[in-house]
Amino acid sequence: MFAYILRRLWQMVPTLFGVMLLLFVLFNWVGGDPSYILAGKSFSADTLANIRHQLGLDQSLPQQFLIFVRQVLTLDFGISWSTQQPVAEILASRIGPSLTLALPMLLVSLLLSVIIAAIVAYVRGSLTDRIVTLICTLAMSVSALVYIIAGQYWLAHKLGWFPILGWSDSLATNLWYYIPLPLLLGLVVSLAPDIRFYRSCFIEEMGHDYVRTARAKGLSERTIMLKHVMRNALIPVVTSLMMSLPYLFLGALLLERFFGIPGMGNEVLNAVDRSDFPVIKAITIYVALATMLFNLLADIVYKLIDPRVQLK
C-alpha cells in the first residue's frame, strides 16, 4: 500500500510539469505581451520596459518558464495584476465562501439522491419509477442558467422568500440567510443526473445472485436493500463522490456569480474578465493538484471499501 502511494505520488510529478507547461504556453506564448494591459492609459517606453523587467518578460522563454516553475514550487504566485494584492492572500479569502456553499450542497445532494435513487430502484418498472425517470430526463434538458435565472427571479424577487443576493462576514448569517436559495437551485440542477446515475448503480446490484440468496434465506426486504444492496451499490457512488471533491475548491461557478458569493468561482470569472493571469494560473495549479490528490485518495478509498480491488 505504502509503495503504491509513493509510486502514485511520483507519477504526479510529470503531470504537474505538464500542467505548468500547458499554462506557460497559454499565458506566456498564446496570451501575448501583457505589459500594455498593465501599463494602463498613460505609458511610456520606460514604464513598459520597467514592467517587462519586473515580470521577467525581457528574459528568454526557458528562463521565464524557470521563473514560473519556481513560483509553483514555492506556491508564491506574486501579486494580482488588477488589485495588486498577493495572490495567496486573495485565494485564502475566497476558499471559505466557496466551501460554505459547496460542502452543504454536496452533503444534502448526496443524501437526497441516494435515498431517492434507492427507492426508485426498488420499485423499478412501476409508475413511480417511470415518472421519476421522465422528470429527471426533462429536468436535465433545461440549462442550469434557466433554473438560476428563474429561481432567483421568482423565489427571491417576486415572492420575497429569500434575499436576492449578498454575503456577510458571519458564518451563521450566511448559512441561514444567504445560502438556502443558491443551495436549493444547486440541488435542482444536480439532483436529476445524480439520481439517474445512482439508480443505475442500484439496479445493477439488485440483479446479482447474492440478492436472490438473501431473499431465499428469508431476510426482510429492508435488510436486503440496506445491508446487502446498499453496501455494494455505494462503491461507485463513493468513487464518483471522491472524484467530484476537487470541484469543491472551484466552487459552484455560476451560483457564486449570480448570488454575489465572493468565492473561488467568482474569483476565476473576475480574473478571466480582467485578464488577471497570475490569479488564473494559481487557481488552475491548485485545482490540478487537488484533482490529482483526490484521484489517488479515491483509488485508496476504493480499495478500502471493496477488498476485491487490486491496486497496481
Partner 1 sequence: MTNHTPLLAADAACPASRSLWQLGWQRLRRDRIGLAALWVVAAFVLLALAGWLGLAGSHWRHEVAKPNTPPALFKHYGPATVELTAADIDAAQQHHTSTADASAATGMSAEDDPLAADMAAAQAAAAKTAPASTAVPPHDGSLVCGSDSRGRDVLQKVIQGTATSLLVGLSGALLAMLIGTVLGALSGYFGRRVDDLLMWFYSVFTSVPDMLLLLAFSAVMSRGIDTVIMVMALTSWTGTYRLMRAEFMKHKCREYVQAADAIGASHRSRMFRHILPNVTHLLLVQFSLLTVALIKYEAILSFLGFGVGVTQTSWGAMLAEAPAELLQGYWWQMAAVTLCMSLLVTAFSMLTDSLRDALDPKVQ
- Rule CB under 8 A: say whether 287 interacts with partner 1: yes
Copy the grid coordinates of residue 154.
421568482
CB 79 within 8 A of CB 91: no
- Rule CB under 8 A: say whether 162 interacts with partner 1: no
Instruction: Mark 63-95 as b/e (b = at least 16 C-beta within 10 Å).
Output: ebbeebeebbeeeebbbbbbeeeebeebbeebb
Residue closer to partner 1 (CB basis): 198 or 234: 198
- Rule CB under 8 A: say whether 118 interacts with partner 1: no
- Rule CB under 8 A: say whether 250 interacts with partner 1: yes
- Rule CB under 8 A: say whether 166 interacts with partner 1: no
- Rule CB under 8 A: say whether 77 interacts with partner 1: no
Alpha-carbon distances, residue 161 vs 22, 153, 181, 311 (angstroms): 46, 11, 9, 51
Residues 34-73 that bind partner 1 (CB under 8 A): none
CB 309 within 8 A of CB 239: no
DSSP element (H, E) containing 253: helix 253-258
Residues 82-111 that bind partner 1 (CB under 8 A): none
For residue 155, the minimal CB distance to partner 1 (Å) is 13
Residues 200-239 that bind partner 1 (CB under 8 A): none
Alpha-carbon distances, residue 250 vs 12, 186, 231, 237 (angstroms): 20, 14, 30, 21
- Rule CB under 8 A: say whether 153 interacts with partner 1: yes
- Rule CB under 8 A: say whether 272 interacts with partner 1: yes
For residue 245, the minimal CB distance to partner 1 (Å) is 11
CB 115 within 8 A of CB 199: no
**DSSP assignment of 220-269, as one string?**
-HHHIIIIIIHHHHHHHHHHHHHHHTHHHHH--HHHHHHTT--SHHHHHH
Copy the grid coordinates of residue 36.
500594455
For residue 215, the minimal CB distance to partner 1 (Å) is 29
Residue from 273, 307, 308, 310 that binds partner 1 (CB under 8 A)? 273
For residue 27, the minimal CB distance to partner 1 (Å) is 6
- Residues 11-30, mask of contacts with partner 1 (x by CB under 8 A): ---xx--xx-xxx--xx--x
- Rule CB under 8 A: say whether 309 interacts with partner 1: no
CB 81 within 8 A of CB 89: no
Copy the grid coordinates of residue 69.
516553475
Q: Is 58 helix (H, G, I), strand (E, B) or coil?
A: coil
- Rule CB under 8 A: say whether 146 interacts with partner 1: yes
User: How many chain residues touch partner 1 (CB under 8 A)?
Assistant: 46
Residue from 107, 111, 149, 311 that binds partner 1 (CB under 8 A)? 149
For residue 240, the minimal CB distance to partner 1 (Å) is 14
User: Whole-angstrom Cα distance, residue 9 to residue 33?
Assistant: 35
CB 205 within 8 A of CB 232: yes
- Rule CB under 8 A: say whether 31 interacts with partner 1: yes
List interacting residues with partner 1 (CB under 8 A).
14-15, 18-19, 21-23, 26-27, 30-32, 137-138, 140-146, 149-150, 152-153, 157, 246-247, 250, 253-254, 257, 268-269, 271-273, 275, 277, 280, 283-284, 287-288, 291-292
